[in-house]
Chain A
Amino acid sequence: MTFLTLGSATAAQRAKALLSRRGIRSQLRRRTGPQGCQWSLALPGRVAEARALLAQAGIPVEAVSAGGRP
Protein backbone atom coordinates (compact mmCIF):
# COMPACT_ATOMS: atom_id res chain seq x y z
CA MET A 1 0.00 0.00 0.00
CA THR A 2 1.25 3.48 -0.85
CA PHE A 3 0.06 6.59 0.95
CA LEU A 4 -0.25 9.97 -0.71
CA THR A 5 -0.47 12.76 1.85
CA LEU A 6 -2.73 15.63 0.86
CA GLY A 7 -3.23 19.08 2.34
CA SER A 8 -6.69 18.65 3.77
CA ALA A 9 -9.72 16.38 3.99
CA THR A 10 -11.25 18.33 1.13
CA ALA A 11 -8.19 17.94 -1.07
CA ALA A 12 -8.02 14.22 -0.27
CA GLN A 13 -11.65 13.70 -1.24
CA ARG A 14 -11.29 15.75 -4.36
CA ALA A 15 -8.32 13.60 -5.27
CA LYS A 16 -10.19 10.41 -4.44
CA ALA A 17 -13.11 11.44 -6.65
CA LEU A 18 -10.75 12.26 -9.50
CA LEU A 19 -8.91 8.95 -9.26
CA SER A 20 -12.17 7.03 -8.98
CA ARG A 21 -13.36 8.52 -12.25
CA ARG A 22 -10.21 7.10 -13.85
CA GLY A 23 -10.75 3.68 -12.30
CA ILE A 24 -8.01 4.00 -9.67
CA ARG A 25 -9.03 2.61 -6.30
CA SER A 26 -8.09 4.45 -3.11
CA GLN A 27 -9.10 4.76 0.52
CA LEU A 28 -9.24 7.82 2.73
CA ARG A 29 -6.86 7.45 5.69
CA ARG A 30 -5.85 9.65 8.63
CA ARG A 31 -2.14 9.52 9.38
CA THR A 32 0.29 11.34 11.64
CA GLY A 33 3.38 12.76 10.00
CA PRO A 34 5.87 15.56 10.37
CA GLN A 35 3.14 18.19 10.31
CA GLY A 36 0.80 16.33 12.63
CA CYS A 37 -2.49 14.73 11.61
CA GLN A 38 -3.05 14.68 7.88
CA TRP A 39 -5.39 13.13 5.38
CA SER A 40 -3.96 10.62 2.95
CA LEU A 41 -5.10 8.37 0.17
CA ALA A 42 -4.06 4.73 0.44
CA LEU A 43 -3.44 3.22 -2.99
CA PRO A 44 -2.95 -0.49 -3.64
CA GLY A 45 -1.37 0.27 -7.04
CA ARG A 46 -1.13 2.57 -10.08
CA VAL A 47 0.71 5.11 -7.95
CA ALA A 48 2.67 6.83 -10.69
CA GLU A 49 -0.47 7.19 -12.80
CA ALA A 50 -2.36 8.59 -9.81
CA ARG A 51 0.35 11.13 -9.05
CA ALA A 52 0.43 12.27 -12.65
CA LEU A 53 -3.35 12.74 -12.69
CA LEU A 54 -3.29 14.71 -9.45
CA ALA A 55 -0.47 16.90 -10.70
CA GLN A 56 -2.40 17.51 -13.89
CA ALA A 57 -5.45 18.57 -11.84
CA GLY A 58 -3.40 20.90 -9.66
CA ILE A 59 -3.90 18.87 -6.48
CA PRO A 60 -0.58 18.89 -4.65
CA VAL A 61 0.70 15.67 -3.05
CA GLU A 62 2.74 16.64 -0.04
CA ALA A 63 4.41 13.32 0.69
CA VAL A 64 4.52 9.74 -0.51
CA SER A 65 5.21 6.85 1.80
CA ALA A 66 4.95 3.10 1.63
CA GLY A 67 3.65 0.39 3.95
CA GLY A 68 2.75 1.17 7.52
CA ARG A 69 5.22 4.00 7.90
CA PRO A 70 3.90 7.54 7.93
Chain B
Amino acid sequence: MIYLDNAATTYPKPPRVRQAVGEALTALGANPGRGGYPMAVAATQAVYRCREEAAAFFGLADPACVSFQPGCTQAVNQVLHGLLNPGDHLLISDLEHNAVLRPANALAARGVAVTVVPTVPGDGDATLDAFRKALRPTTRLAVCTQASNVWGFRLPVERLAALLHQYNVPLCVDAAQSAGLVPIDLEASGIDFLCVPGHKGLYGPMGVGLLLCRQPEPLLRSLIQGGTGTRSRRGEQPAELPERYEAGTLNLPGILGLQAGAAFVRSQGPETLWRRETELTARLWDRLRALPRVRLFTPRPAWPEALPVLSFTVEGLSCEEAAHRLGQKGLALRAGLHCAPLAHEKLGTLETGTLRASLSAFTRREEVDAAARLIGSLGGK
Protein backbone atom coordinates (compact mmCIF):
# COMPACT_ATOMS: atom_id res chain seq x y z
CA MET B 1 0.00 0.00 0.00
CA ILE B 2 1.09 3.54 -0.75
CA TYR B 3 0.00 5.51 2.28
CA LEU B 4 -0.65 9.20 1.61
CA ASP B 5 -3.00 9.94 4.49
CA ASN B 6 -0.39 11.21 6.91
CA ALA B 7 -2.36 14.36 7.73
CA ALA B 8 -4.87 12.07 9.45
CA THR B 9 -2.17 10.08 11.22
CA THR B 10 1.37 9.26 10.22
CA TYR B 11 2.07 5.70 9.17
CA PRO B 12 4.31 3.83 9.52
CA LYS B 13 5.76 4.85 12.86
CA PRO B 14 9.50 4.69 13.47
CA PRO B 15 10.55 1.32 14.97
CA ARG B 16 11.71 3.00 18.17
CA VAL B 17 8.14 4.20 18.78
CA ARG B 18 6.85 0.65 18.74
CA GLN B 19 9.66 -0.37 21.09
CA ALA B 20 8.92 2.47 23.51
CA VAL B 21 5.22 1.59 23.67
CA GLY B 22 6.09 -2.04 24.32
CA GLU B 23 8.55 -1.16 27.05
CA ALA B 24 5.98 1.05 28.74
CA LEU B 25 3.64 -1.92 28.93
CA THR B 26 6.26 -4.32 30.19
CA ALA B 27 9.09 -2.64 32.08
CA LEU B 28 7.19 0.40 33.33
CA GLY B 29 3.71 -0.91 33.94
CA ALA B 30 2.96 1.14 37.08
CA ASN B 31 0.70 4.17 37.25
CA PRO B 32 2.87 7.31 36.97
CA GLY B 33 2.53 9.83 39.79
CA ARG B 34 0.49 7.58 42.05
CA GLY B 35 2.81 5.20 43.90
CA GLY B 36 6.08 5.44 45.80
CA TYR B 37 7.55 1.99 45.03
CA PRO B 38 10.43 1.80 42.56
CA MET B 39 8.50 0.93 39.40
CA ALA B 40 5.94 3.68 40.03
CA VAL B 41 8.67 6.23 40.71
CA ALA B 42 10.46 5.10 37.55
CA ALA B 43 7.24 5.62 35.57
CA THR B 44 6.83 9.07 37.14
CA GLN B 45 10.37 9.97 36.22
CA ALA B 46 9.91 8.70 32.67
CA VAL B 47 6.91 10.98 32.24
CA TYR B 48 8.87 13.91 33.60
CA ARG B 49 11.73 13.31 31.15
CA CYS B 50 9.23 13.37 28.30
CA ARG B 51 7.79 16.60 29.69
CA GLU B 52 11.26 18.13 29.83
CA GLU B 53 12.03 17.07 26.26
CA ALA B 54 8.70 18.41 24.98
CA ALA B 55 9.38 21.74 26.71
CA ALA B 56 12.82 21.94 25.12
CA PHE B 57 11.49 20.92 21.69
CA PHE B 58 8.92 23.74 21.73
CA GLY B 59 11.09 26.38 23.40
CA LEU B 60 9.62 26.40 26.90
CA ALA B 61 11.76 26.85 29.99
CA ASP B 62 9.33 25.33 32.48
CA PRO B 63 8.31 21.67 31.96
CA ALA B 64 5.35 22.27 34.29
CA CYS B 65 3.76 24.26 31.45
CA VAL B 66 3.58 21.08 29.34
CA SER B 67 0.49 18.97 29.98
CA PHE B 68 -0.30 15.65 28.39
CA GLN B 69 -3.70 15.44 26.76
CA PRO B 70 -5.60 12.66 25.00
CA GLY B 71 -5.05 14.57 21.78
CA CYS B 72 -4.89 17.94 20.07
CA THR B 73 -8.69 18.25 20.09
CA GLN B 74 -8.83 17.95 23.86
CA ALA B 75 -6.02 20.47 24.20
CA VAL B 76 -8.00 22.98 22.12
CA ASN B 77 -11.11 22.28 24.18
CA GLN B 78 -9.14 22.74 27.40
CA VAL B 79 -8.10 26.22 26.31
CA LEU B 80 -11.46 27.36 24.94
CA HIS B 81 -13.68 25.98 27.68
CA GLY B 82 -11.09 26.82 30.33
CA LEU B 83 -10.78 30.48 29.45
CA LEU B 84 -13.97 31.84 27.92
CA ASN B 85 -17.08 33.06 29.70
CA PRO B 86 -20.44 34.35 28.47
CA GLY B 87 -19.98 37.84 27.11
CA ASP B 88 -16.45 37.16 25.88
CA HIS B 89 -15.54 37.44 22.22
CA LEU B 90 -13.56 34.75 20.38
CA LEU B 91 -11.78 35.03 17.04
CA ILE B 92 -11.12 31.97 14.90
CA SER B 93 -9.71 31.78 11.38
CA ASP B 94 -11.73 30.54 8.43
CA LEU B 95 -9.38 27.59 7.99
CA GLU B 96 -10.12 25.95 11.32
CA HIS B 97 -10.78 22.27 11.80
CA ASN B 98 -13.89 21.11 13.65
CA ALA B 99 -11.63 20.66 16.67
CA VAL B 100 -11.86 24.45 16.95
CA LEU B 101 -15.14 25.20 15.18
CA ARG B 102 -17.27 22.85 17.26
CA PRO B 103 -16.13 23.97 20.71
CA ALA B 104 -16.45 27.56 19.44
CA ASN B 105 -20.04 26.89 18.41
CA ALA B 106 -20.76 25.14 21.72
CA LEU B 107 -19.49 28.23 23.51
CA ALA B 108 -21.52 30.48 21.22
CA ALA B 109 -24.63 28.67 22.41
CA ARG B 110 -23.63 29.68 25.96
CA GLY B 111 -23.20 33.37 25.22
CA VAL B 112 -19.68 33.67 23.81
CA ALA B 113 -19.56 35.81 20.66
CA VAL B 114 -17.58 34.15 17.87
CA THR B 115 -16.16 35.82 14.75
CA VAL B 116 -14.76 33.78 11.88
CA VAL B 117 -11.92 35.83 10.41
CA PRO B 118 -11.29 35.59 6.65
CA THR B 119 -7.64 34.74 6.05
CA VAL B 120 -5.82 35.57 2.82
CA PRO B 121 -3.53 32.67 1.96
CA GLY B 122 -0.13 33.89 0.83
CA ASP B 123 -0.76 37.41 2.09
CA GLY B 124 0.20 37.68 5.74
CA ASP B 125 -0.43 41.41 5.90
CA ALA B 126 -4.00 41.04 4.68
CA THR B 127 -4.61 38.21 7.12
CA LEU B 128 -3.33 40.31 10.00
CA ASP B 129 -5.51 43.23 8.88
CA ALA B 130 -8.54 40.97 8.93
CA PHE B 131 -7.80 39.89 12.49
CA ARG B 132 -7.16 43.50 13.53
CA LYS B 133 -10.50 44.63 12.11
CA ALA B 134 -12.33 41.82 13.89
CA LEU B 135 -11.01 42.71 17.34
CA ARG B 136 -13.44 44.08 19.92
CA PRO B 137 -12.95 45.40 23.44
CA THR B 138 -14.40 42.09 24.67
CA THR B 139 -12.10 39.87 22.60
CA ARG B 140 -10.61 37.41 25.08
CA LEU B 141 -8.90 34.87 22.81
CA ALA B 142 -7.97 34.13 19.20
CA VAL B 143 -7.49 30.64 17.81
CA CYS B 144 -5.62 30.07 14.59
CA THR B 145 -4.34 26.99 12.86
CA GLN B 146 -0.68 27.16 11.88
CA ALA B 147 -1.51 25.42 8.61
CA SER B 148 -4.67 24.29 6.88
CA ASN B 149 -5.23 20.54 7.08
CA VAL B 150 -6.98 20.69 3.69
CA TRP B 151 -4.95 23.11 1.60
CA GLY B 152 -1.58 23.19 3.32
CA PHE B 153 -1.61 27.00 3.56
CA ARG B 154 0.58 28.30 6.35
CA LEU B 155 -0.66 31.21 8.44
CA PRO B 156 1.57 33.88 10.08
CA VAL B 157 0.92 32.91 13.68
CA GLU B 158 4.05 34.57 15.09
CA ARG B 159 3.08 37.93 13.60
CA LEU B 160 -0.49 37.38 14.69
CA ALA B 161 0.66 36.80 18.28
CA ALA B 162 2.57 40.09 18.21
CA LEU B 163 -0.49 41.92 16.87
CA LEU B 164 -2.86 40.40 19.41
CA HIS B 165 -0.55 41.14 22.32
CA GLN B 166 -0.86 44.85 21.51
CA TYR B 167 -4.49 44.39 22.50
CA ASN B 168 -3.78 42.02 25.41
CA VAL B 169 -5.45 39.15 23.57
CA PRO B 170 -3.77 35.73 23.90
CA LEU B 171 -3.32 33.44 20.91
CA CYS B 172 -3.99 29.72 20.86
CA VAL B 173 -2.42 27.89 17.91
CA ASP B 174 -3.67 24.60 16.55
CA ALA B 175 -0.46 22.90 15.40
CA ALA B 176 -2.16 19.71 14.26
CA GLN B 177 -0.50 19.75 10.84
CA SER B 178 2.65 21.71 11.62
CA ALA B 179 4.15 20.31 14.83
CA GLY B 180 7.16 18.23 13.92
CA LEU B 181 7.71 20.11 10.66
CA VAL B 182 7.62 23.84 11.38
CA PRO B 183 10.06 24.73 14.16
CA ILE B 184 8.10 26.34 16.99
CA ASP B 185 9.63 28.29 19.85
CA LEU B 186 6.93 29.39 22.25
CA GLU B 187 9.04 31.89 24.15
CA ALA B 188 10.24 33.58 20.96
CA SER B 189 7.01 33.34 18.97
CA GLY B 190 4.70 34.74 21.62
CA ILE B 191 2.17 31.97 21.06
CA ASP B 192 0.32 31.66 24.35
CA PHE B 193 -1.20 28.21 23.99
CA LEU B 194 0.02 25.53 21.60
CA CYS B 195 -2.09 22.45 20.91
CA VAL B 196 -0.22 19.48 19.48
CA PRO B 197 -1.24 15.97 18.42
CA GLY B 198 1.16 13.17 19.26
CA HIS B 199 0.26 10.90 16.38
CA LYS B 200 0.89 13.11 13.36
CA GLY B 201 4.13 14.97 12.73
CA LEU B 202 5.63 13.77 16.00
CA TYR B 203 5.12 10.12 14.97
CA GLY B 204 3.75 8.95 18.32
CA PRO B 205 0.79 6.64 18.82
CA MET B 206 -2.82 7.82 18.74
CA GLY B 207 -4.44 8.91 22.00
CA VAL B 208 -1.81 11.35 23.20
CA GLY B 209 -1.20 15.03 22.62
CA LEU B 210 0.22 18.10 24.28
CA LEU B 211 -1.00 21.42 25.57
CA LEU B 212 1.86 23.88 26.03
CA CYS B 213 1.22 27.13 27.87
CA ARG B 214 3.83 29.84 27.40
CA GLN B 215 3.22 30.97 30.97
CA PRO B 216 1.31 29.48 33.92
CA GLU B 217 -1.08 32.44 33.75
CA PRO B 218 -3.85 32.81 32.84
CA LEU B 219 -4.84 29.75 34.82
CA LEU B 220 -7.52 27.87 32.91
CA ARG B 221 -10.50 26.13 34.44
CA SER B 222 -9.83 22.42 34.20
CA LEU B 223 -11.85 20.79 31.43
CA ILE B 224 -12.31 17.66 33.52
CA GLN B 225 -11.69 17.07 37.19
CA GLY B 226 -10.32 14.03 38.94
CA GLY B 227 -7.38 12.35 40.59
CA THR B 228 -3.91 13.76 40.13
CA GLY B 229 -1.99 11.82 42.78
CA THR B 230 -1.52 15.03 44.78
CA ARG B 231 -3.49 16.98 47.42
CA SER B 232 -5.85 14.05 47.66
CA ARG B 233 -7.70 15.34 50.73
CA ARG B 234 -8.87 18.38 48.85
CA GLY B 235 -12.11 18.26 46.92
CA GLU B 236 -11.06 20.74 44.27
CA GLN B 237 -8.80 20.33 41.29
CA PRO B 238 -5.29 21.50 42.28
CA ALA B 239 -4.07 24.83 40.95
CA GLU B 240 -0.60 23.51 40.16
CA LEU B 241 0.43 22.85 36.59
CA PRO B 242 0.49 20.48 34.87
CA GLU B 243 -1.68 18.41 37.21
CA ARG B 244 -4.54 20.91 36.94
CA TYR B 245 -5.02 19.87 33.30
CA GLU B 246 -4.21 16.17 33.75
CA ALA B 247 -7.02 14.58 35.77
CA GLY B 248 -6.96 10.79 35.69
CA THR B 249 -4.31 8.27 34.80
CA LEU B 250 -1.85 9.37 32.17
CA ASN B 251 -1.40 7.40 28.96
CA LEU B 252 2.10 6.16 29.74
CA PRO B 253 2.52 3.99 26.61
CA GLY B 254 1.33 6.89 24.50
CA ILE B 255 3.59 9.37 26.25
CA LEU B 256 6.70 7.22 25.88
CA GLY B 257 5.78 6.51 22.28
CA LEU B 258 5.42 10.24 21.70
CA GLN B 259 8.81 10.80 23.30
CA ALA B 260 10.37 8.28 20.92
CA GLY B 261 8.59 9.79 17.94
CA ALA B 262 9.77 13.28 18.82
CA ALA B 263 13.30 11.92 19.20
CA PHE B 264 13.03 10.57 15.65
CA VAL B 265 11.95 14.01 14.42
CA ARG B 266 14.83 15.67 16.28
CA SER B 267 17.28 13.22 14.78
CA GLN B 268 16.08 14.09 11.26
CA GLY B 269 15.55 17.80 11.90
CA PRO B 270 12.00 19.17 11.56
CA GLU B 271 12.94 21.67 8.90
CA THR B 272 14.75 19.03 6.87
CA LEU B 273 11.63 16.87 6.96
CA TRP B 274 9.45 19.82 6.07
CA ARG B 275 11.58 20.79 3.05
CA ARG B 276 11.82 17.24 1.75
CA GLU B 277 8.11 16.51 2.13
CA THR B 278 7.15 19.82 0.53
CA GLU B 279 9.44 19.07 -2.43
CA LEU B 280 7.80 15.69 -2.87
CA THR B 281 4.36 17.30 -2.61
CA ALA B 282 5.37 19.75 -5.33
CA ARG B 283 6.47 16.77 -7.43
CA LEU B 284 3.04 15.22 -6.97
CA TRP B 285 1.43 18.57 -7.87
CA ASP B 286 3.47 18.65 -11.12
CA ARG B 287 2.35 15.18 -12.08
CA LEU B 288 -1.29 15.77 -11.22
CA ARG B 289 -1.29 19.03 -13.15
CA ALA B 290 -0.38 17.08 -16.28
CA LEU B 291 -3.51 14.94 -15.88
CA PRO B 292 -6.40 16.55 -17.78
CA ARG B 293 -9.14 15.32 -15.43
CA VAL B 294 -7.49 16.42 -12.23
CA ARG B 295 -8.36 19.81 -10.79
CA LEU B 296 -5.94 21.41 -8.37
CA PHE B 297 -7.02 24.30 -6.17
CA THR B 298 -3.77 25.64 -4.78
CA PRO B 299 -0.53 26.97 -6.26
CA ARG B 300 2.47 24.67 -6.59
CA PRO B 301 3.53 23.97 -2.97
CA ALA B 302 6.70 25.78 -2.04
CA TRP B 303 8.69 25.76 1.18
CA PRO B 304 8.27 27.59 3.56
CA GLU B 305 4.78 28.76 2.63
CA ALA B 306 3.18 25.34 2.37
CA LEU B 307 2.86 22.15 4.36
CA PRO B 308 2.95 18.74 2.64
CA VAL B 309 -0.81 18.51 2.04
CA LEU B 310 -2.47 18.59 -1.37
CA SER B 311 -6.19 18.51 -2.18
CA PHE B 312 -7.73 17.91 -5.61
CA THR B 313 -10.72 16.52 -7.45
CA VAL B 314 -11.04 14.19 -10.43
CA GLU B 315 -13.52 15.21 -13.10
CA GLY B 316 -16.37 12.77 -13.55
CA LEU B 317 -15.87 11.00 -10.22
CA SER B 318 -16.99 11.85 -6.72
CA CYS B 319 -14.06 12.11 -4.35
CA GLU B 320 -15.36 9.14 -2.36
CA GLU B 321 -15.65 6.95 -5.45
CA ALA B 322 -12.20 7.97 -6.59
CA ALA B 323 -10.76 7.25 -3.13
CA HIS B 324 -12.52 3.89 -3.07
CA ARG B 325 -11.13 2.86 -6.46
CA LEU B 326 -7.66 4.06 -5.55
CA GLY B 327 -7.87 2.20 -2.26
CA GLN B 328 -8.62 -0.99 -4.17
CA LYS B 329 -5.47 -0.37 -6.19
CA GLY B 330 -3.37 0.15 -3.08
CA LEU B 331 -3.31 3.92 -2.72
CA ALA B 332 -4.58 5.37 0.56
CA LEU B 333 -5.98 8.90 0.21
CA ARG B 334 -8.60 10.62 2.29
CA ALA B 335 -11.77 11.87 0.64
CA GLY B 336 -14.42 14.28 1.90
CA LEU B 337 -14.35 17.43 3.99
CA HIS B 338 -11.48 16.44 6.31
CA CYS B 339 -13.46 17.72 9.33
CA ALA B 340 -12.87 21.25 8.04
CA PRO B 341 -16.04 22.62 6.41
CA LEU B 342 -14.85 26.23 6.72
CA ALA B 343 -11.70 25.48 4.73
CA HIS B 344 -13.71 23.76 1.99
CA GLU B 345 -16.26 26.56 1.87
CA LYS B 346 -13.41 29.00 1.36
CA LEU B 347 -12.29 27.36 -1.89
CA GLY B 348 -15.72 26.26 -3.09
CA THR B 349 -15.48 22.54 -2.40
CA LEU B 350 -17.98 22.28 0.44
CA GLU B 351 -20.51 20.40 -1.70
CA THR B 352 -18.10 18.00 -3.37
CA GLY B 353 -15.24 17.56 -0.94
CA THR B 354 -11.79 16.71 -2.26
CA LEU B 355 -9.22 13.98 -2.33
CA ARG B 356 -6.30 14.75 -0.05
CA ALA B 357 -2.76 13.46 -0.34
CA SER B 358 -0.46 14.08 2.60
CA LEU B 359 3.12 12.90 2.94
CA SER B 360 5.45 11.92 5.75
CA ALA B 361 9.13 11.30 6.40
CA PHE B 362 8.66 7.77 5.08
CA THR B 363 7.11 8.71 1.73
CA ARG B 364 9.44 7.85 -1.15
CA ARG B 365 9.71 9.59 -4.49
CA GLU B 366 8.76 6.38 -6.33
CA GLU B 367 5.57 6.21 -4.26
CA VAL B 368 4.65 9.75 -5.27
CA ASP B 369 5.17 8.90 -8.93
CA ALA B 370 3.22 5.66 -8.61
CA ALA B 371 0.39 7.52 -6.85
CA ALA B 372 0.16 9.99 -9.73
CA ARG B 373 0.06 7.13 -12.24
CA LEU B 374 -2.76 5.43 -10.31
CA ILE B 375 -4.74 8.67 -10.17
CA GLY B 376 -4.18 9.11 -13.91
CA SER B 377 -5.48 5.61 -14.57
CA LEU B 378 -8.87 6.26 -12.96
CA GLY B 379 -11.70 5.56 -15.34
CA GLY B 380 -14.94 7.53 -15.62
CA LYS B 381 -18.17 7.02 -13.68
Residues of A within 8 A of B (CB): 7-11, 13-14, 17, 28-31, 34-39
Contacts and interface: CB of A to CB of B under 8 A. Distances in A.
Contacts of A37: 229-232
A11 B234 CA distance: 18
Given A9-B48, A37-B230, A14 B63 contact: yes
Nearest to B45: A13
Contacts of A36: 230-234
Given A28-B41, A29-B36, A30-B35, A9 B64 contact: no
Interface residues of B, number: 26
A48 to B, nearest CB: 25
Interface string B123-158: 000000000000000000000000000000000000
Please classify the interface of chain B as helix (H, G, I), strand (E, B), loop, or mixed, using the class held by over half of its residues: loop
Given A35-B233, A38-B230, A38-B231, A7 B36 contact: no
Most buried by B among A9, A13, A17, A39: A9
Interface string B45-84: 1011001100000000011100000000000000000000
A7 B232 contact: no
A58 B114 CA distance: 38
A34 B363 CA distance: 56
24 contacts: A7-B238, A7-B240, A8-B228, A8-B238, A8-B243, A9-B32, A9-B47, A9-B48, A9-B229, A10-B63, A10-B240, A10-B241, A11-B64, A13-B48, A14-B62, A14-B64, A29-B36, A30-B36, A35-B231, A35-B232, A36-B232, A37-B231, A39-B229, A39-B230
B61 to A, nearest CB: 11
